[in-house]
Amino acid sequence: MQIIHPLADMTSWSREIIASGKTIALVPTMGYFHEGHLRLMRLAGSLADHVVVSLFVNSLQFGPGEDLSRYPRDLDKDAGLAENEKVDILFVPSDKDMYSPEFNARVLVDGITDTLCGKQRPHHFAGVTTVVAKLFNIIKPHYAVFGQKDFQQLSVIRKMVRDLNWDITIVGHPIVREDDGLAMSSRNTYLSDEERSRALCLFNAIRHAKARFAEGVVDAKRLKSEIRDIIATNSGVSIDYISVVDKDTLSAKKEIDSRSVLALAVRVGGTRLIDNCFMASDTEAINRQW
Protein backbone atom coordinates (compact mmCIF):
# COMPACT_ATOMS: atom_id res chain seq x y z
CA MET A 1 0.00 0.00 0.00
CA GLN A 2 1.15 3.50 -0.82
CA ILE A 3 0.42 6.56 1.32
CA ILE A 4 -0.06 9.74 -0.71
CA HIS A 5 -0.22 13.24 0.77
CA PRO A 6 0.05 15.79 -2.10
CA LEU A 7 -3.15 16.38 -4.06
CA ALA A 8 -1.33 16.49 -7.40
CA ASP A 9 0.33 13.11 -6.73
CA MET A 10 -3.06 11.56 -5.99
CA THR A 11 -4.55 12.86 -9.22
CA SER A 12 -1.50 11.74 -11.21
CA TRP A 13 -1.85 8.18 -9.84
CA SER A 14 -5.54 8.09 -10.68
CA ARG A 15 -4.99 9.31 -14.21
CA GLU A 16 -2.46 6.53 -14.82
CA ILE A 17 -4.87 3.90 -13.51
CA ILE A 18 -7.75 5.20 -15.63
CA ALA A 19 -5.52 5.41 -18.72
CA SER A 20 -4.64 1.75 -18.23
CA GLY A 21 -8.33 0.82 -18.42
CA LYS A 22 -8.64 -0.06 -14.72
CA THR A 23 -11.31 1.10 -12.28
CA ILE A 24 -11.06 2.87 -8.91
CA ALA A 25 -13.30 2.62 -5.85
CA LEU A 26 -13.05 5.32 -3.18
CA VAL A 27 -13.88 5.00 0.51
CA PRO A 28 -13.97 8.51 2.04
CA THR A 29 -13.24 8.48 5.80
CA MET A 30 -12.13 10.66 8.68
CA GLY A 31 -9.97 7.84 10.01
CA TYR A 32 -9.77 6.01 13.34
CA PHE A 33 -10.84 2.83 11.59
CA HIS A 34 -13.09 0.18 13.06
CA GLU A 35 -14.72 -2.92 11.56
CA GLY A 36 -17.34 -0.77 9.86
CA HIS A 37 -14.67 1.05 7.86
CA LEU A 38 -12.94 -2.22 7.00
CA ARG A 39 -16.13 -3.66 5.56
CA LEU A 40 -16.49 -0.59 3.36
CA MET A 41 -12.98 -1.26 2.09
CA ARG A 42 -13.81 -4.91 1.37
CA LEU A 43 -16.92 -3.90 -0.54
CA ALA A 44 -14.88 -1.38 -2.52
CA GLY A 45 -12.39 -4.12 -3.38
CA SER A 46 -15.20 -6.24 -4.80
CA LEU A 47 -16.32 -3.41 -7.07
CA ALA A 48 -13.14 -2.12 -8.69
CA ASP A 49 -9.58 -3.00 -9.67
CA HIS A 50 -8.04 -0.55 -7.20
CA VAL A 51 -9.16 0.84 -3.84
CA VAL A 52 -8.37 4.32 -2.55
CA VAL A 53 -9.19 5.23 1.05
CA SER A 54 -9.11 8.91 1.89
CA LEU A 55 -8.34 9.90 5.48
CA PHE A 56 -9.14 13.52 6.21
CA VAL A 57 -10.75 15.07 9.28
CA ASN A 58 -12.80 17.67 7.45
CA SER A 59 -12.94 20.93 9.39
CA LEU A 60 -15.73 22.31 7.19
CA GLN A 61 -18.32 19.87 8.53
CA PHE A 62 -17.74 20.69 12.20
CA GLY A 63 -19.70 23.50 13.80
CA PRO A 64 -18.68 25.77 16.70
CA GLY A 65 -18.24 23.83 19.93
CA GLU A 66 -18.17 20.43 18.18
CA ASP A 67 -15.42 17.85 18.54
CA LEU A 68 -13.00 18.79 15.73
CA SER A 69 -10.01 19.22 18.03
CA ARG A 70 -10.59 15.98 19.94
CA TYR A 71 -11.80 13.78 17.09
CA PRO A 72 -9.81 10.51 17.50
CA ARG A 73 -6.76 10.13 15.27
CA ASP A 74 -4.20 7.31 14.85
CA LEU A 75 -2.60 7.33 11.41
CA ASP A 76 -0.15 4.49 12.07
CA LYS A 77 -2.90 2.15 13.27
CA ASP A 78 -5.17 3.17 10.41
CA ALA A 79 -2.45 2.57 7.84
CA GLY A 80 -1.83 -0.93 9.17
CA LEU A 81 -5.52 -1.82 9.09
CA ALA A 82 -5.96 -0.46 5.56
CA GLU A 83 -2.93 -2.33 4.30
CA ASN A 84 -4.33 -5.58 5.69
CA GLU A 85 -7.46 -4.97 3.60
CA LYS A 86 -5.32 -4.71 0.44
CA VAL A 87 -6.04 -1.03 -0.04
CA ASP A 88 -3.88 0.35 -2.86
CA ILE A 89 -3.72 3.98 -1.76
CA LEU A 90 -4.26 5.70 1.58
CA PHE A 91 -4.76 9.34 0.63
CA VAL A 92 -3.98 11.66 3.56
CA PRO A 93 -4.11 15.28 2.42
CA SER A 94 -3.27 18.17 4.72
CA ASP A 95 -5.83 20.74 5.76
CA LYS A 96 -3.79 23.56 4.21
CA ASP A 97 -3.68 21.75 0.86
CA MET A 98 -7.40 21.00 0.85
CA TYR A 99 -8.38 24.47 2.03
CA SER A 100 -5.98 27.26 1.16
CA PRO A 101 -6.36 30.63 2.94
CA GLU A 102 -8.20 31.90 -0.17
CA PHE A 103 -10.66 28.97 -0.28
CA ASN A 104 -14.24 30.28 -0.48
CA ALA A 105 -16.17 27.69 -2.52
CA ARG A 106 -19.04 25.59 -1.22
CA VAL A 107 -21.15 22.85 -2.82
CA LEU A 108 -24.72 23.06 -1.57
CA VAL A 109 -27.54 20.53 -1.87
CA ASP A 110 -30.81 22.14 -0.83
CA GLY A 111 -33.95 20.47 0.48
CA ILE A 112 -32.84 17.17 1.95
CA THR A 113 -30.13 18.91 3.99
CA ASP A 114 -32.69 20.99 5.92
CA THR A 115 -34.04 18.13 8.05
CA LEU A 116 -32.74 15.51 10.52
CA CYS A 117 -29.04 16.19 11.24
CA GLY A 118 -29.09 19.17 8.90
CA LYS A 119 -31.65 20.91 11.11
CA GLN A 120 -29.52 20.32 14.19
CA ARG A 121 -26.21 21.12 12.44
CA PRO A 122 -27.06 23.80 9.83
CA HIS A 123 -23.60 24.03 8.21
CA HIS A 124 -22.67 20.37 8.41
CA PHE A 125 -23.77 19.10 5.01
CA ALA A 126 -22.28 22.01 3.08
CA GLY A 127 -18.97 20.87 4.56
CA VAL A 128 -19.66 17.24 3.65
CA THR A 129 -20.67 17.91 0.05
CA THR A 130 -17.80 20.33 -0.49
CA VAL A 131 -15.11 17.91 0.71
CA VAL A 132 -16.64 14.94 -1.12
CA ALA A 133 -16.81 16.99 -4.34
CA LYS A 134 -13.14 17.84 -3.93
CA LEU A 135 -12.25 14.20 -3.30
CA PHE A 136 -14.18 13.13 -6.39
CA ASN A 137 -12.33 15.70 -8.50
CA ILE A 138 -8.92 14.78 -7.09
CA ILE A 139 -9.29 10.97 -7.15
CA LYS A 140 -11.74 10.54 -10.05
CA PRO A 141 -13.28 7.29 -8.78
CA HIS A 142 -15.68 5.09 -10.70
CA TYR A 143 -17.31 4.00 -7.42
CA ALA A 144 -17.59 5.58 -3.96
CA VAL A 145 -18.67 3.59 -0.91
CA PHE A 146 -20.44 5.11 2.11
CA GLY A 147 -21.95 3.58 5.24
CA GLN A 148 -25.70 3.56 5.81
CA LYS A 149 -25.28 4.64 9.44
CA ASP A 150 -24.93 8.18 8.07
CA PHE A 151 -28.14 7.69 6.10
CA GLN A 152 -28.79 11.36 5.42
CA GLN A 153 -25.22 11.85 4.26
CA LEU A 154 -25.58 8.93 1.84
CA SER A 155 -28.82 10.43 0.48
CA VAL A 156 -27.25 13.87 0.08
CA ILE A 157 -24.22 12.50 -1.77
CA ARG A 158 -26.42 10.50 -4.11
CA LYS A 159 -28.49 13.58 -4.92
CA MET A 160 -25.37 15.69 -5.48
CA VAL A 161 -24.00 13.14 -7.93
CA ARG A 162 -27.32 12.92 -9.79
CA ASP A 163 -27.83 16.67 -9.94
CA LEU A 164 -24.27 17.39 -11.12
CA ASN A 165 -24.22 14.47 -13.60
CA TRP A 166 -21.07 12.88 -12.20
CA ASP A 167 -20.30 9.49 -13.71
CA ILE A 168 -19.76 7.90 -10.30
CA THR A 169 -21.70 5.00 -8.80
CA ILE A 170 -22.53 5.64 -5.14
CA VAL A 171 -22.75 2.42 -3.13
CA GLY A 172 -24.22 2.18 0.37
CA HIS A 173 -23.12 -0.45 2.88
CA PRO A 174 -25.55 -1.66 5.60
CA ILE A 175 -24.91 -0.52 9.17
CA VAL A 176 -22.22 -2.55 10.93
CA ARG A 177 -23.03 -3.16 14.58
CA GLU A 178 -21.23 -4.29 17.70
CA ASP A 179 -22.22 -7.66 19.18
CA ASP A 180 -24.83 -5.95 21.37
CA GLY A 181 -26.32 -3.97 18.48
CA LEU A 182 -24.70 -0.55 18.95
CA ALA A 183 -23.87 0.93 15.55
CA MET A 184 -20.11 1.14 15.09
CA SER A 185 -18.75 4.68 15.18
CA SER A 186 -15.39 6.29 15.85
CA ARG A 187 -17.20 8.48 18.39
CA ASN A 188 -18.12 5.42 20.47
CA THR A 189 -14.63 5.77 21.97
CA TYR A 190 -15.87 8.89 23.81
CA LEU A 191 -18.35 6.83 25.85
CA SER A 192 -17.68 5.66 29.39
CA ASP A 193 -18.77 2.12 30.26
CA GLU A 194 -21.97 3.46 31.81
CA GLU A 195 -22.68 5.71 28.82
CA ARG A 196 -21.96 2.83 26.46
CA SER A 197 -24.67 0.81 28.20
CA ARG A 198 -27.15 3.70 27.97
CA ALA A 199 -26.39 4.15 24.27
CA LEU A 200 -28.02 0.79 23.59
CA CYS A 201 -31.37 2.57 23.92
CA LEU A 202 -30.94 3.45 20.21
CA PHE A 203 -30.88 -0.15 19.10
CA ASN A 204 -33.56 -1.13 21.60
CA ALA A 205 -35.78 1.57 20.09
CA ILE A 206 -35.12 0.25 16.59
CA ARG A 207 -35.98 -3.32 17.56
CA HIS A 208 -39.18 -2.11 19.22
CA ALA A 209 -40.15 -0.04 16.19
CA LYS A 210 -39.60 -2.87 13.73
CA ALA A 211 -41.53 -5.30 15.91
CA ARG A 212 -44.46 -2.87 16.22
CA PHE A 213 -44.50 -2.29 12.46
CA ALA A 214 -44.54 -6.06 11.92
CA GLU A 215 -47.57 -6.19 14.23
CA GLY A 216 -49.36 -3.69 12.00
CA VAL A 217 -48.67 -0.33 13.69
CA VAL A 218 -48.32 2.25 10.90
CA ASP A 219 -49.08 5.50 12.74
CA ALA A 220 -45.76 7.34 12.79
CA LYS A 221 -46.78 9.72 15.59
CA ARG A 222 -47.77 6.81 17.84
CA LEU A 223 -44.57 4.92 17.15
CA LYS A 224 -42.38 7.97 17.76
CA SER A 225 -44.11 8.48 21.11
CA GLU A 226 -43.35 4.88 22.12
CA ILE A 227 -39.72 5.30 21.09
CA ARG A 228 -39.47 8.53 23.06
CA ASP A 229 -40.70 6.68 26.15
CA ILE A 230 -38.08 3.93 25.67
CA ILE A 231 -35.23 6.41 25.36
CA ALA A 232 -36.51 8.54 28.25
CA THR A 233 -35.98 5.67 30.70
CA ASN A 234 -32.21 6.17 30.30
CA SER A 235 -30.80 8.96 32.46
CA GLY A 236 -28.14 11.08 30.81
CA VAL A 237 -29.61 10.55 27.33
CA SER A 238 -31.25 13.48 25.53
CA ILE A 239 -33.08 13.27 22.21
CA ASP A 240 -32.10 15.41 19.22
CA TYR A 241 -34.74 13.90 16.96
CA ILE A 242 -36.93 10.88 16.31
CA SER A 243 -38.17 10.90 12.71
CA VAL A 244 -39.89 8.62 10.23
CA VAL A 245 -39.01 9.78 6.71
CA ASP A 246 -39.24 8.73 3.08
CA LYS A 247 -36.09 6.86 2.07
CA ASP A 248 -35.49 9.07 -0.99
CA THR A 249 -36.87 12.52 -0.24
CA LEU A 250 -36.32 12.42 3.56
CA SER A 251 -39.71 14.11 3.95
CA ALA A 252 -41.62 13.27 7.13
CA LYS A 253 -44.20 10.49 6.87
CA LYS A 254 -47.43 10.23 8.82
CA GLU A 255 -47.97 6.57 7.93
CA ILE A 256 -45.20 3.99 7.87
CA ASP A 257 -44.83 1.96 4.69
CA SER A 258 -42.20 0.13 2.63
CA ARG A 259 -40.44 3.43 1.81
CA SER A 260 -40.06 4.50 5.45
CA VAL A 261 -36.83 4.96 7.37
CA LEU A 262 -36.70 5.49 11.12
CA ALA A 263 -33.91 7.97 11.91
CA LEU A 264 -32.70 8.72 15.44
CA ALA A 265 -30.19 11.08 17.02
CA VAL A 266 -29.43 11.30 20.74
CA ARG A 267 -26.79 12.73 23.02
CA VAL A 268 -25.32 10.36 25.58
CA GLY A 269 -23.48 12.59 27.99
CA GLY A 270 -21.48 14.83 25.66
CA THR A 271 -21.49 12.41 22.71
CA ARG A 272 -23.92 12.69 19.82
CA LEU A 273 -24.93 9.34 18.30
CA ILE A 274 -27.13 8.52 15.30
CA ASP A 275 -28.82 5.35 14.08
CA ASN A 276 -31.50 4.35 11.59
CA CYS A 277 -33.30 1.44 10.00
CA PHE A 278 -35.49 0.61 7.02
CA MET A 279 -38.83 -0.20 8.58
CA ALA A 280 -39.78 -2.82 5.97
CA SER A 281 -36.64 -4.97 6.31
CA ASP A 282 -36.73 -8.35 8.06
CA THR A 283 -37.61 -7.87 11.75
CA GLU A 284 -36.94 -11.52 12.57
CA ALA A 285 -33.46 -11.32 11.04
CA ILE A 286 -32.49 -8.31 13.13
CA ASN A 287 -33.68 -10.07 16.28
CA ARG A 288 -31.78 -13.26 15.43
CA GLN A 289 -28.54 -11.44 14.73
CA TRP A 290 -28.45 -9.63 18.10
Q: Would you call 37 a catalytic residue per the annotation?
A: yes
- Rounded CA separation 115/251 (Å): 8
- Rounded CA separation 254/111 (Å): 19
Which of 156, 106, 153 shows the shortest CA–CA distance to 134?
106
Q: Where are the alpha helices (DSSP H) in 164-255?
A: 193-198, 201-214, 220-232
Catalytic residue among 5, 37, 123, 208: 37
- Rounded CA separation 157/136 (Å): 11
Q: What is the SS3 assignment for 164?
A: coil
- Rounded CA separation 136/282 (Å): 34
Q: Which residues are catalytic?
A: 37
